[in-house]
Amino acid sequence: MNIKGKTVIITGSTGKLARAIVLSLAQSGANCVCVYNKNSPAAKKLQTSLKKLKVKTLFIQTDLTKEKNIEKVFAEIEKLGSTGSPQVAKPQILINAAAVFDKKLITEVAFDYIRYTLDTNFTAPMFITKKFVDFVQRKIKTRQTCPRPRSGKPVAKIINITDITAQNPPAGFSIYSASKAALIAATKSLAKELAPVFTVNAVSPGIINFAKGTSAELKKKILAHIPAGRTGSPDEIAAAVKFLIENDYLTGQVINIDGGKTI
């Protein structure tokens, strides 16, 4: 799929990884629907950067753990191209990047924490995907669940941002790792269900940034388990997302961008 001129929905767009993804796609000519929760200063900064790239944007601030808010997001997206809204193509690409990340021992875990983590990292992406699939199917004007595109190429792309902890969960991240493992399972199932109209893939980052306050000794110990001998960068994650959009024959795949840590 050619990125230029396409419209992309990116959730969690003010996060470090998602922000790099937005900028990378915008540099390739994509228009961006940026959904974010609380970080308004980061959203304004991102919006300024996108204006310089001369692409169309729509910024939506909302809490995606509420079903009614996801409904409102898609109500705004429905308006794209109408009077008073950005004159852009209807979205054909969805990137589920919004997530919460916390280390909590099982003795510290509360019911609300489990629910919020799962709602943010799994339930919200699944319901957003449901709305996106419905949106795309209506726009291509067919009643079939998965019609075969005349070109033999997919009509739309779904990319989930997961985490290598889903495959090799570290101590203290049981809930977070489980939420990302669920998203990986859903990615593979949906790839079968939605083919050939949609491709559904995931990008699974390894260690991109060390947590603030990580000691030099601990950093050295962590890096010793990474064959590449270094942490990754947000731009390397963005490049993987771009690759999945441009390649029409990949679906149901989880690409680990981890310097070889999961080998």
The CATH number of the domain holding residue 48 is: 3.40.50.720
Number of domains into which the chain is organized = 1
Structural element, H or E, at residue 88: none
Looking only at the bridges linking them, the beta strands covering 57-61 and 254-257 are: unpaired
- Rounded distance between C-alpha atoms, residue 122 and residue 182, angstroms: 7
Domain containing 80: what range? 7-257
Q: Kindly state whether residue 263 falls inside one of the protein's structural domains.
A: no
Structure tokens at 138: 């209506």
CA dihedral in degrees (71, 203, 162, 206; nearest 10)?
Answer: -150
Q: Kindly state whether residue 209 falls inside one of the protein's structural domains.
A: yes
Q: Kindly state whether residue 159 falls inside one of the protein's structural domains.
A: yes
- Rounded distance between C-alpha atoms, residue 213 and residue 26, angstroms: 33
Q: pTM of the full predicted structure?
A: 0.93
Q: Kindly state whether residue 2 falls inside one of the protein's structural domains.
A: no
- Rounded distance between C-alpha atoms, residue 173 and residue 177, angstroms: 6
Structural element, H or E, at residue 176: helix 174-194
CA distances 29 to 42, 45, 51, 55, 258, Å, are 21, 19, 12, 7, 27
Q: Which of 253, 252, 196, 242 is nearest to 3 (CA)?
A: 242
Q: What are 9's strand-pairing partners?
A: 33, 94
> Per residue of the chain (263 residues), what is the pLDDT tens digit?
999 999 999 999 999 999 999 999 999 999 999 999 999 999 999 999 999 999 999 999 999 999 999 999 999 999 987 766 667 889 999 999 999 999 999 999 999 999 999 999 999 999 999 999 999 999 865 444 455 666 679 999 999 999 999 999 999 999 999 999 999 999 999 999 999 999 999 999 999 988 788 899 999 999 999 999 999 999 999 999 999 999 999 999 999 999 999 99
- Rounded distance between C-alpha atoms, residue 63 and residue 124, angstroms: 10
Q: Kindly state whether residue 262 falls inside one of the protein's structural domains.
A: no
Q: Kindly state whether residue 99 falls inside one of the protein's structural domains.
A: yes
